[in-house]
Every structure is written in structure tokens, then in C-alpha cells.
Amino acid sequence: MPNLTKQKNAAGKLIEFGMVSHTAEEVAHRNHADKDDHPLRFQGQGKILLALAQNDGLSQKELATRSNLAVQSTAEFVNKLAKKQLVTKEKSTTDRRKTIIRLTDLGRATAAAETAKVPAYLDVLTDTELDQLTAILTKINGSLYDEIKAMTPADSNRFKETVTDHLRDWFL
């Protein structure tokens, strides 16, 4: 059984990483000369671009499900992306209640450029450390997937597939 103090230290470092990385993204956004021109990678707009890059022409409800976002948040992000001319919105020809979202050429290029970027904070790690970090996170993620499956068996495979699809297109 692992040492409880070491587990608490590791948990604290994971929480610290989440907080620091989130704050670093916010500071970078605030200090960027063009407030609309910042990385979309892990934020709501980036999730939507990625979902559309994987499967263009989704309804807002399908986008919300694939991106694991609230429908209201999805609508807000889609409107921001449309304002930036990265997506278009059109009424479905089969069901006028649905709005279909499609990538523009600029949106497709933006999604491709964002997926090619690797977070700069990984530059401080050696190849050996990157291999170790990958192995550790793979093990932790596997445990979390098992927890999710135990709590919500019907949804766990869909969630894991969505995450896997997102990561495959972001970094692999």
C-alpha cells in the first residue's frame, strides 16, 4: 500500500498543476494584444472546433454532447466562433428546429494549427521524463475510467471514446 503522505503530496501537486495551468492560460489571454487571438486548444471553443474537424456538420446539441459542454455554453461558443468566421450556422433541411454548425475554411485551418501545438510547459521535461509522465498519467486515467464505468456503465464507453477521439486528433 502506498504511503499516505506521498499520496497526499502527489494529489496536492496535481491540484496545484490544474490551478497554475489554468491561471497561466488566463494571464496569457489577458495580456495578449489581440484578445480574440489566443489559443483555443482546451477551452470550449477549441473543443467545438475539434469536434467539427472530426465530424463536420453537427447540430448544436450533438456538439454539446461530443464536447461534454452544456447546450447553453455550446450556443455561446458557437456564436463566438461564427463572429470570428470560423464556423457557419444553418437550419437543418430535414428538421428546421435544428441548427447545423459547419467549419469554414478558416475554421478548418485554425483547428489544424491548434492541434499541431504542444503545450510549452512540457519543454522543461527530458524524453525520459516525458515517457515516465505518460506512463503515470496513463495508469491514473485508466483508474479514473474504471471509476466512471462503475458509476455510469451506460455512458462510460461513450465518454472514453469521445476523450480518445479528441486526444487522437489533438496530439497523435
* Residue 171 confidence (pLDDT) above 70: no
Q: What is the pLDDT of residues 127-141, one digit of tens each?
A: 999 999 999 998 998
DSSP alpha helices (H): ranges in the chain? Answer: 4-31, 44-54, 60-67, 71-83, 105-115, 127-151, 153-171
Residue with cell 466512471: 148
Residue with cell 500500500: 1
Rounded-to-integer distance, Cα 79 and Cα 99, Å = 12
Whether 170 contacts 50, CB under 8 Å: yes
- List Cβ neighbours of 41 (8 Å cut-off, separation of 6 or more): 114, 117, 119, 170
72 confidence band (pLDDT: 50, 70, 90): very high
For residues 81-101, give the mean pLDDT.
Answer: 92
Q: What is the pLDDT of residues 2-34, one digit of tens each?
A: 888 988 888 888 888 888 887 777 777 677 655
Give the HSE-up count for residue 23: Cα atoms under 13 Å, Cβ half-sphere.
6
Reading the block at residue 63, the C-alpha cell is 456538439
Q: Please give the residue that has the higher pLDDT: either 93 or 35.
A: 93
- List Cβ neighbours of 169 (8 Å cut-off, separation of 6 or more): 50, 53, 54, 115
pTM score above 0.85: no
